[in-house]
Amino acid sequence: MKAIILAAGEGKRLRPLTDNKPKCLVEYQGKPILDYQLETLRSCGIHDIVVVKGYQAEILQREGVRFVVNPDYAATNMVYTLFCAEQELLGDTIISYGDIIYSKEILEKLVNCEDDVAVVVDKKWRLLWEKRMTDPLMDAETMKISAQGEILELGKKPRDYNDIQGQYIGLIRFSGQVIDRIKNFYFCLDRSKIYDEMDFSKMYMTSFIQEIIVHLMPVKAVFIDGGWIEIDCLSDLSVDYVF
């Protein structure tokens, strides 16, 4: 099992803390976000770890980790960053956003999932969102899931809470059985198309997952009940992280 951490972004909403270092090195409760992730990955036996960096790339160094650089980090988004590490997309792979902290139990659930494409979905997302903001609906995205646990829709603007059966947290697993198909699918996508109001190079990960769902294969939800946090803005640093 391999892990790829997507940590190329600037973290503008965390300024001034990110003026001179990447977002994943911002400290939460005395420890950089990245170090929480590395500790959790290694506790689950994952030692083949790749970090895709971009902003302040020279600052981001860790022992026992390989690095890939997204030189166009300022003009691209998560999916482009992931495929900067195309050569590392081999075998069973965990993909993690670089600004989340999650428990060992969450990662174990994802690692042990037998589905070819799986996404972690927090069913109790509102408990976290209500700590982070006054109106959770303004920031949340749609998540519609079938009775069989297959994701039907994600990443859209919800009309009301009925459109949200959970929230995608930024953790994905691709099995080695399908990873070549996923890579080929990405490189065959229409580069002139607009994906959820973004051009190809700025495509959101949720948009890419939706394309996989519609055009390639099912994507299963791995359900959790909290146990994680996203550090996206300064106020998130004051939110208690509860396993």
Phi, psi of 214 (to 5 degrees): -75, -35
pLDDT at 139: 87
Q: How far apart are CA 189 and CA 105, in angstroms?
A: 35
Q: How confident is the model at residue 242 (pLDDT cuts 50, 70, 90)?
A: low
pLDDT tens-digit series, residues 106-122: 999 999 999 999 999 99
- The percentage of the chain sitting over the pLDDT mark of 90, rounded to a whole number, equals 91
pLDDT tens-digit series, residues 35-72: 999 999 999 999 999 999 999 999 999 999 999 999 99
pLDDT at 134: 86
Q: How far apart are CA 37 and CA 24, in angstroms?
A: 10
Which domains can be identified in the chain, with CATH numbers? 2-235 (3.90.550.10)
Residue 189 contacts by C-beta under 8 Å, 6 or more apart in sequence? 200, 211
